[in-house]
Structure 1
Amino acid sequence: MKDATIEDLLPLAPLQEGLWYHSSYDESGADVYLGQWMFEFDAALDEQRLEGAARELLRRNASLRASFVQRRSGELVQVVVGEVPTPMTVVELGDRELAEVQRDERARRFDLAKAPLLRLLLVRRGEGRHALIMTVHHIVMDGWSASLLIEELFDLYASEPATLPARRPYRDYLAWLAGQDHDEAETAWRAALAEVSSPCLVAPADGGESPELAEFVELDLSAELTSELIEAAARHSVTLNIVVQAAWAIVLAQQTARKDIVLGVTVSGRSPELDGVEEMIGLFINTVPVCARIAGDTTLAELLHSLQDEQARLISYPYVGLSAIQKLAGLGRLFDTTFVFQNQPGGGDVREIEPGLTASLTDARDYNSFALSLQVTPGERLRLEVGYQAKLFERADVETLARQLHHVLDGLTGDPMTRIGDIPSLPRAQYDEMVERWNDTERPGLDTTLSSLFEARVRDKPKAVAISVGEESLTYAELNARANQLAHRFIADGEGPGRPIALLLPRSIEMVVAMLAAIKAGAGYIAMDPDDPTERLVVMLNDASPTSMVTMDDYAQRFSGLDMNFVALGQPRTTEEIRLLSRTDPTDADRTAPLDAREVAYVAYTSGSTGVPKGITVTHENVASLVLDERWREGKSDRVFAHSPQAFDATTYEVWVPLSIGGQIVMNAPGRFDQDDAARTIRDGGATSAYLTARLFNALVEENPGCLVGLREIWTGAETASPEVFRTALDKLPGVDLINVYGPTETTVFATRHVVRGPDAIGNATVSVGRALDNSRVYVLDDRMRPCPPGALGEIYIGGPRVARGYLGRPRLTSERFVCDPFGPPGTRMYRTGDLGWWHADGRLEFGGRSDHQAKIRGFRIEPAEVEAALTRQDEVAAAAVVVAANGSGEKVLNAYVVARSGLRIEVSELLARLARSLPRYMVPDGILVLDRLPLTDNGKLDRGALPDVQRAASATGREPRSKVESTLCTIWEEVLGVERVSIDDDFFELGGESLAAIRVVNRVRSELSSELAIQQLFLTPRIVELADGIGQQTPARPALRRRAAAG
């Protein structure tokens, strides 16, 4: 109230500071730290009596009259005033549903600077019936306090205030808190977190700083299972809380594929040292990290006792704020899940207020900002409520997660010596669905060769155009005749099955002729990119040992020292020799050996972890399993836009799919990809389908989507897809099927696909890679080779006929990566991708990154170890490390760190130039930073987290401030963050800034620059050079808070 007297100014408890920050960050967003309770009454209420009871409730409890503001000094304070408006409103329900009224109440934001932060909404339901909805911001009270408050409200309704005892005020708790030994508490927490090496995050993406109100999935356990869990707790001498907590930890371990779990656990914070604390009203709870080690050989008893023991050691220090605890660990946010075991006082769900009037609690919800939470309410039947952020999780997935938790809880009631790894994570029915039904993809007809498939199309439609490049084109009959002539040349040279031919040609009709000819001769081919450095091509040739190479005359000169048979296309003599050869299809009678589906069709080279590229041998059967997929016969893939580099496995799709189904290759002109040329080729060639790497797809959609007009489907993959770009593409390219695909070269280009025809097919945080294509079997397995439940992170394995033969000349590596498929037909294999993923409940796959350091950049798979090997081969480099990082645009790039040999100097520009002569362009690091030594962990491994940012170190050696505003901001950051020197290009959060530091910066800006800076603005523009531009345009600072004298 405007004339209210300030009774008290109090500090904030640690959690109150955190809640104030969350509310202040986005003042237009939802209040996520709410509690809401709804009671329905069996008789009419006296509305005036209830309002009087509410008024008396606020008078008796000073904490309900508190508002929260920031002083000029930066200090946050609670302002307790003597009188506030009674926060009760009466409304008619009319034709609305109570749930709708509840939602509307939750959507109304509280202004933390205006007390009371509590609302009572009395709903008239007709026929003398009422419902009461109480909504409160958790900054003034926790769930325990709410139960006390509700009891007191009903007692005040039924009796005189003078008959009720007074409560001990919240200010006494704050005084007790200030007197605790915080140094001792920090020492205890630092020890508890000493072995935590990384955050434990479950959400598939960062939910940002503006969370939404959670949604909930509820599950009531049976009375029988509840009783068994209580008995299990008693057998182990632990609480039921610990038993359920253990089950939740096991589920999180399965979800994250981790053995060391950090989960948030909400503790009551009501120390028995403080007399009367159980009856106090205010915010006492705290969410603290709990560590659980869940190795497969850990027994159930060991897990339960370790959880109980750890929490017993820390029970005396529940008051240290989460922000301070996380700062001690030095890892930023430690977890994004929380566990709450409700253990609150109160009269139960049904309570008699007075004779003839009973209130029934029909809904109760506590909300928070965590991505995922579990609230457990004890009773005859244990109730589980899984709260989730809908922008991060799909409801069906959370329902599956709740069932998984139920399944694990059931497993905890057995033998205490049961090993955690032996507790089944899937019911049998779900196992069968995931392994069998989701992989029911086998199609007949794979025992065929590519030459047979192509020649059948020649017979079907000899005069149809098979390939076009600009104005030049060949029909199926013409292409077949030219390929046959070259194939007969290969056979005459002694080439055939088991002897792949090297193809070093620009993207052209000649390239496709050579591919077909190598296939028809039975030899297969090795596709090589003329743009790759000669040194790398020689390594590949030495590895594969082909006896023939098809190339252009000028390319052949690069390999004059090699003992090979060169077929130089374009040379008059070669052209004349081939022209005189037979135009008929070669047969096994012509070939050096019979050709069957198990022979090699091509060898594709990818980056190798040993520093040498490795060749993947792909058979005719493998490619047939791709091109015979029913999807290609839907009519949208009949004219395929071909633009990929020759050595990129997408060429398999661009060439063999159209030629196997009677379609047309619409080939972009040779040379680097050009948007204008692509648009012209798509338009003039009538292309209907194209594959674009995610990087290229993103660039074209954002910069020039018009160049893709005319296509009916766009396949994209090789890197993580952007939901925002997919939404833009749907808007800019109406009617086009967008298909997000996944599959390594070892499984013949594509293994899964997800068709996006509308926004409903795009997730909030990710774009799924979908379901298995025909002739692919896809599994997500844990470290014991067991199928992971939906939502649980595991390694992706791919089985089925698309799995390649193996790595050329590398039997040991082949046996490590191509392993027995225990779920497929006897004798079949599956490929261990090294990729991580998880299933949605409906069978869609999500890509979750790599389990190692391998990466895909610009669509190409890269082993950083190969780049490191190239660096250490340089005379002046003693040691090197290569990591994948994001550049300023969010794109993945390679960063290299090098250490010079003693007495030698590294010139970065010269080093980059030499790398470009031995590595493809996409493998040359974007930046190189010279270090005195590489940072190592205690066990001697590279400490990747300690490597400095290459771009910042190279470009931001630190621009000095150019204005008074920039200079002031640099000083503020240096002092707030404890950093010796700040440049205008430094990022606040990369320098160690966090929420409370942001509050201090905002306050310093207000006092020193007389400008009102929103916390959100600091997140949006975290660099001084950007932030300073807007400072002068901000609103003037608020006046300082002053205590007013009490009225006489």
Structure 2
Amino acid sequence: LATLWSELLGVEQVGRHDDFFALGGHSLLAIKLIERLRRLGWQIDVRALFAQPTLAGLAVNLQTASAIVVPPNRIAPACTDITPDVLPLISLTQAEIDAIVSSVDGGAANVQDIYPLAPLQEGLLFHHLSDPLADPYLHSSVLGFPSKEQLDRFLDALDQVIARHDILRTGFLWQRLSVPVQVVWREAILPRRAHRFDGPDPAAELLTWLHTPEAAPSLQHAPLIHAHLAHDATTGRWLLGLQQHHLVMDHTTLELVIEEVRAHLAGRQQQLPTPLPFRDFVAHAHADVSEQEHKAFFSAMLADIDAPTAPFGVLAPVRDPAALRFLRVSLPATLATAVRTQARQHGVSAASLFHLAYALLLARSSGSTEAVFATLLFGRMHASAGVDRVLGLFLNTLPIRLNTAHGSVLDAVRQTQLCLAQLLHHEHAPLALAQRCGTLDPSTPLLNALLNYRYSGGSAVLGVEPEVEHVAALDGVHEIAGQERTHYPLLVSVNDEQTSGGFSLDVQCVQQIGTERIAAMLLQTLQGLVQALQHAPQTALHALDLLPENERAQLRHFNDTTADLGGSGYLHRAIALQAQRTPQAVALVEDDVELSYAALDNRANQLAHHLIALGVVPEDRVAVCLPRGIDLVIALLAALKAGAAFMPLDPDAP
């Protein structure tokens, strides 16, 4: 263990009481550590890594590796007749298999493998089927190329990457089947479609077209990457509109695909590692932790939730992705350094600090003392050997629940780290299973906000050193526009820039929440957390101030209730004086009803005399339980005229 820590963390000597996270460890390095241990014949419960991150603590938890045996693919290359016995990972009838084969271009000869969906794929397919024309997991981007030759070379390289990896040659079928399946094609060529746009901004027109129903690719046909080409006659550049579905790639895989494209363009394809099949991960995901164990864990977490965490009162889903706004903001260098420093000093991951900050923001903005939200897990902690070099969809979205009402800042940070460790043990649980463990009405969404903590630099995941030499084929190529969709009204992606040591935030939310507001509040919360950890770690968590100065100034403006009451000093006397000055002026308006100052004062006087007749005397309190309207104002004035104080009651309260 000490040798591995020294190599992975870049330290010369490791002590038995040294802390993995205090030495600079994080989730990506944890995956590498687990994989290196696996190669040496050892395994460790990921919960132990986060709960007991010292060298001695981990050593106690080391166990001899017990690998899950994944049956090999039995479909021979020249097979023309696929039967149930050659599909060890899934149980299908012959009729179902025949239906699958008939949907593949080239028939059985072009079917390499058939197996079930991974947990997150199940959730993504569900969202697609809920609204196929507004699929939140279809990513579109537009790239600009100086020449058609460069564009063609890029697409040829992308075709070679698709040919290398089975997940990039995969389609998805569910109709007339007992369970959804993914089908790996032996050959799947990147679809290319040419367009012509004659407007002043062809790039914007192309991006707009990519979001139309006509442009949506079919999930049944591989590959789920499509290329759309257009020429910008004004600038002379060539445009490439790329679409890819998250069913086959997550953020890390996308970076790895780009790195492999660079390798092909630079003539370094021979240096790339041997591709590993995605099927092994699927097998491990289904055999890892039992469904009963998943249910017990999420029931304990969610069974007593009686209301969703709805930031600023907004609930999922977002029906129109065009309603989302996007903002990217970088953390100031001093704050980024402070986050890493405090995380190391207190033996937690930086991800724990960001999760706690997000929970505080959500709890406060939803009027609660706790937050239940979705978090994206890396999905590679419990996977098969070599998982750090496999392309595909590994990320899984699962709920996390954090209490923000009790304890100190330091206790809360450590508790967040523990909650994440426990959640990692269930990283392959289907989101649908977790949500069913809650008791909310099915029509009420449990999860309305998502945090995506991700590490930039896909090559670091594979253990392939990123090449920095000049790639001539990419000269002048740049991304013009891009958009990721989501059905969450609030999504924050934290980009952990390992190379520079900085952080950036990608905030995506509906307009009524406001991207700038979320970014400012999150930065303010992070600042408060690190300052408390540095100077007063026992500060009560609920005492942290989340409001940035502009929001606080707005509140002061809203509550600037100083008013000139005409020298009377009392509201009811000011109304009476105004009634003498302008008796017929309109004082109140309710729908189509208007009330003058004279009428208002007269009706308030009448009610005041009635209250006095009932026994109200000065210094009494008069409860007023009325909806907003003219009668409410009259009642308040009458209580004051009787010398009493009014106590407003909410008629909608129980």
Q: Same fold (TM over 0.5)?
A: yes
Residue 124 (structure 1) shift:
4.8
**Hey, what's the Cα distance between the residues in 1 that align with 2:415 and 2:450?**
19
Distance change (3 Å), C-alpha of 1:373 and 1:449? closer
Give the 3-state SS of the residue equivalent to 1:167 in structure 2.
coil
**Hey, what's the Cα distance between the residues in 2 that align with 1:806 and 1:243?**
55
**Hey, what's the Cα distance between the residues in 1 that align with 2:628 and 2:156?**
77
1:216 aligned residue? 326
1:15 equivalent among 120, 136, 141: 120
**Hey, what's the Cα distance between the residues in 2 that align with 1:238 and 1:2?**
50
Percent sequence identity over aligned pairs: 23
The answer on 1:51 being equivalent to 2:155 is yes
Matches within 5 A, 1:406-555: 406-414=523-531, 415=535, 416-428=537-549, 430-436=551-557, 439=560, 442-445=563-566, 447=568, 448=573, 453-457=578-582, 516=602, 519=605, 524-526=608-610, 544-545=614-615
Residues 33 and 138 of structure 1 are in contact (CA less than 8 Å); yes or no, is this contact kept in structure 2? yes
Q: As a proportion of its length, which structure holds more strand?
A: 1
**Hey, what's the Cα distance between the residues in 1 that align with 2:188 and 2:630?**
69
The answer on 1:376 being equivalent to 2:490 is no
Residues 142 and 203 of structure 2 are in contact (CA less than 8 Å); yes or no, is this contact kept in structure 1? no
Residues 451 and 516 of structure 1 are in contact (CA less than 8 Å); yes or no, is this contact kept in structure 2? no
The answer on 1:34 being equivalent to 2:53 is no
2:521 equivalent among 396, 399, 404: 404
Residues 261 and 292 of structure 1 are in contact (CA less than 8 Å); yes or no, is this contact kept in structure 2? yes
Task: Specify the code of the residue in structure 2 equivalent to 1:202.
Answer: P
Residues 185 and 317 of structure 1 are in contact (CA less than 8 Å); yes or no, is this contact kept in structure 2? yes
Residue 23 (structure 1) shift:
1.4
Between 326-335 and 174-183, report the one with greater CA deviation. 326-335
The answer on 1:294 being equivalent to 2:404 is yes
**Hey, what's the Cα distance between the residues in 2 that align with 1:64 and 1:273?**
19
Residue 92 (structure 1) shift:
6.9
Distance change (3 Å), C-alpha of 1:57 and 1:202? same
Residues 408 and 424 of structure 1 are in contact (CA less than 8 Å); yes or no, is this contact kept in structure 2? yes
**Hey, what's the Cα distance between the residues in 2 that align with 1:125 and 1:156?**
27
**Hey, what's the Cα distance between the residues in 1 that align with 2:474 and 2:294?**
48
**Hey, what's the Cα distance between the residues in 1 that align with 2:604 and 2:305?**
56
1:416-442 deviation line (CA, Å, top 9, x unaligned): 223223322234454234214663562
Task: Specify the code of the residue in structure 2 equivalent to 1:180.
Answer: D
Residues 350 and 361 of structure 1 are in contact (CA less than 8 Å); yes or no, is this contact kept in structure 2? no
Give the 3-state SS of the residue equivalent to 1:417 in structure 2.
coil
2:424 aligned residue? 315
1:101 aligned residue? 206
Give the 3-state SS of the residue equivalent to 1:413 in structure 2.
helix
1:677-732 deviation line (CA, Å, top 9, x unaligned): xxxxxxxxxxxxxxxxxxxxxxxxxxxxxxxxxxxxxxxxxxxxxxxxxxxxxxxx
The answer on 1:119 being equivalent to 2:222 is no
2:450 equivalent among 334, 338, 353: 338
Distance change (3 Å), C-alpha of 1:238 and 1:124? farther
Give the 3-state SS of the residue equivalent to 1:426 in structure 2.
coil
1:271 aligned residue? 381
2:185 aligned residue? 81
1:261 equivalent among 366, 371, 384: 371
Q: As a proportion of its length, which structure holds more helix?
A: 2
1:190 aligned residue? 299
Task: Specify the code of the residue in structure 1 equivalent to 2:218.
Answer: D
Residues 63 and 80 of structure 1 are in contact (CA less than 8 Å); yes or no, is this contact kept in structure 2? yes
Residues 451 and 519 of structure 1 are in contact (CA less than 8 Å); yes or no, is this contact kept in structure 2? no
**Hey, what's the Cα distance between the residues in 2 that align with 1:217 and 1:25?**
28
**Hey, what's the Cα distance between the residues in 1 that align with 2:525 and 2:240?**
38
Residues 267 and 287 of structure 1 are in contact (CA less than 8 Å); yes or no, is this contact kept in structure 2? yes
2:250 equivalent among 142, 145, 163: 142
**Hey, what's the Cα distance between the residues in 1 that align with 2:379 and 2:223?**
23
Residues 57 and 152 of structure 1 are in contact (CA less than 8 Å); yes or no, is this contact kept in structure 2? yes
Distance change (3 Å), C-alpha of 1:455 and 1:41? closer
Distance change (3 Å), C-alpha of 1:269 and 1:445? same
1:886-917 deviation line (CA, Å, top 9, x unaligned): xxxxxxxxxxxxxxxxxxxxxxxxxxxxxxxx
**Hey, what's the Cα distance between the residues in 1 that align with 2:164 and 2:223?**
13
Matches within 5 A, 1:548-627: 606=625
1:951-987 deviation line (CA, Å, top 9, x unaligned): xxxxxxxxxxxxxxxxxxxxxxxxxxxxxxxxxxxxx
Distance change (3 Å), C-alpha of 1:12 and 1:545? same
2:62 aligned residue? none
1:397-419 deviation line (CA, Å, top 9, x unaligned): 33122111111111122122232
Residue 190 (structure 1) shift:
3.2
Give the 3-state SS of the residue equivalent to 1:289 in structure 2.
strand
Give the 3-state SS of the residue equivalent to 1:287 in structure 2.
strand
Residues 31 and 110 of structure 1 are in contact (CA less than 8 Å); yes or no, is this contact kept in structure 2? no
Residue 862 (structure 1) shift:
5.3
Give the 3-state SS of the residue equivalent to 1:524 in structure 2.
helix
The answer on 1:67 being equivalent to 2:171 is yes
Residue 326 (structure 1) shift:
1.4
Residues 526 and 604 of structure 1 are in contact (CA less than 8 Å); yes or no, is this contact kept in structure 2? no
**Hey, what's the Cα distance between the residues in 2 that align with 1:351 and 1:125?**
30
1:613-666 deviation line (CA, Å, top 9, x unaligned): xxxxxxxxxxxxxxxxxxxxxxxxxxxxxxxxxx9952477xx8xxxxxxxxxx
**Hey, what's the Cα distance between the residues in 1 that align with 2:208 and 2:186?**
31
1:306 aligned residue? 415
Unaligned runs of 5+ residues in structure 1 are: 462-475, 481-511, 528-539, 548-597, 608-646, 657-744, 749-801, 818-830, 834-853, 855-860, 865-1048
The answer on 1:386 being equivalent to 2:507 is yes
Larger Rg: 1
RMSD of aligned Cα (Å): 4.1
Distance change (3 Å), C-alpha of 1:193 and 1:162? same
**Hey, what's the Cα distance between the residues in 2 that align with 1:164 and 1:186?**
40
Residues 45 and 130 of structure 1 are in contact (CA less than 8 Å); yes or no, is this contact kept in structure 2? no
Distance change (3 Å), C-alpha of 1:320 and 1:546? closer
Matches within 5 A, 1:926-937: none
Residue 178 (structure 1) shift:
2.3
Residues 216 and 386 of structure 1 are in contact (CA less than 8 Å); yes or no, is this contact kept in structure 2? yes
Task: Specify the code of the residue in structure 1 equivalent to 2:630.
Answer: A
Give the 3-state SS of the residue equivalent to 1:421 in structure 2.
helix
Residue 377 (structure 1) shift:
0.9
Normalised TM-score (structure 1) = 0.44
Distance change (3 Å), C-alpha of 1:236 and 1:863? closer
1:231 aligned residue? 341
Task: Specify the code of the residue in structure 1 equivalent to 2:364.
Answer: Q
Higher relative contact order (CA 8 A, sep 6+): 2
Task: Specify the code of the residue in structure 1 equivalent to 2:137.
Answer: Y
Give the 3-state SS of the residue equivalent to 2:348 in structure 1.
coil
2:313 aligned residue? 204
1:650 aligned residue? 630
Residues 186 and 320 of structure 1 are in contact (CA less than 8 Å); yes or no, is this contact kept in structure 2? no
1:512-554 deviation line (CA, Å, top 9, x unaligned): 79x838838xx83449xxxxxxxxxxxx98xx3489xxxxxxx
Residue 264 (structure 1) shift:
1.1
Residues 41 and 130 of structure 1 are in contact (CA less than 8 Å); yes or no, is this contact kept in structure 2? yes
Residues 106 and 135 of structure 1 are in contact (CA less than 8 Å); yes or no, is this contact kept in structure 2? no
1:923 aligned residue? none
